[in-house]
Copies of this chain bind each other. A is one copy, B any other.
């Protein structure tokens, strides 16, 4: 069975033992509710290092009071079984008191890449993400850490904070795992009703159409407007953003046609009923 540890001391002892034996270690930080997307991160790590550690921690600091912290899906037994099936060596599952002991008072804040998109929609989010991921990287001392491109802005924030704080770890981005119809896998997909799940495919479809349009020379703002209209027509009740951005620093592209040499990435967030879906694609 995949071994489960709950304290930083146990985690560090195991990782240091592996490293002392010359085995490299990869960390896959998660909030649990694991699906094939997470398991693809474990498998990618296994191609690069000998030992893999998944962490499961639903981080209260990255949820605002009105968000879905209490409702966020949890199920450690199933998570542990899935990690076992993927050959993951260790599950680190701390409780909140282990991560944020009495008197905890430190926050890691970023400017720049953290500010637009998710940062604008969820002001507390990336401070919470940067703080907990930095802690996990310091706790586990891995050689590599794997994050899904599904949360693309988060990946860029983590790359930035890792570089800025000189953390001795390689950050690896993994391609987004998708259902057969193209919907990005997400723990929050569990919130969708049958009808909503059927409508959700409009999100990747609208994104593919917008990318094809700008690649054919369409103006960026025209493609973005068409994408938003397609989502609303498919039953999405609100589109938070549907933006072509620079793939590196997430600065805005457009409104005109893309110049040659641009490195566009299309990022979108939209609400289907009570569920907020996000996705992104290279263009």
The complex places the Cα of A12 from the Cα of B166 at a distance, in Å, of: 11
Interface residue? A113 (CB, 8 A):
yes
Contact (A138, B160) CB under 8 Å given A107-B109, A110-B106: no
Interface residue total, chain A, C-beta cutoff 8 A: 30
Interface residue? A43 (CB, 8 A):
no
Interface residue? A282 (CB, 8 A):
no
Min C-beta distance of A168 to chain B, whole Å: 7
Min C-beta distance of A59 to chain B, whole Å: 14
> Quick one: which of B106, B109, B160 contacts A164, CB cutoff 8 A?
B106
Residues of B within 8 A of A103 (CB): 112, 160, 249
Contact across chains for B105 and A107 when beta carbons are under 8 A apart: no
The complex places the Cα of A236 from the Cα of B135 at a distance, in Å, of: 44
Contact across chains for B111 and A168 when beta carbons are under 8 A apart: no
Query: Interface digits, A115-153 against B, CB 8 Å rule (1 contact, 0 not)?
Result: 000000000000000100011001101000000000000
Residues of B within 8 A of A160 (CB): 103, 105-106
Residues of B within 8 A of A161 (CB): 106
Residues of B within 8 A of A107 (CB): 108-111
Query: Interface digits, A222-245 against B, CB 8 Å rule (1 contact, 0 not)?
Result: 000000000000000000000000
Query: Interface digits, A170-188 against B, CB 8 Å rule (1 contact, 0 not)?
Result: 0000000000000000000
Min C-beta distance of A49 to chain B, whole Å: 19
The complex places the Cα of A58 from the Cα of B134 at a distance, in Å, of: 25
Interface residue? A259 (CB, 8 A):
no
The complex places the Cα of A107 from the Cα of B104 at a distance, in Å, of: 17
Closest partner residue, chain B, to A109 (CB atom):
B107
12 pairs of residues in contact across A and B, judged by CB atoms under 8 Å: A8-B166, A12-B168, A103-B112, A105-B112, A105-B160, A105-B164, A106-B130, A106-B161, A107-B108, A107-B109, A134-B165, A138-B166
Taking beta carbons and an 8 Å cutoff, which residues of A are in contact with B?
Answer: 8, 12, 101, 103-114, 130, 134-135, 138-139, 141, 160-161, 163-168, 249
Known: A106-B165, A135-B165. 12 other contacts (CB 8 A): A12-B168, A103-B112, A103-B160, A103-B249, A104-B164, A105-B110, A105-B164, A107-B111, A109-B109, A138-B138, A138-B166, A138-B167
The 10 closest A-B pairs by CB, nearest first: A106-B164, A105-B112, A105-B111, A139-B166, A138-B166, A107-B109, A105-B110, A106-B161, A104-B164, A106-B110
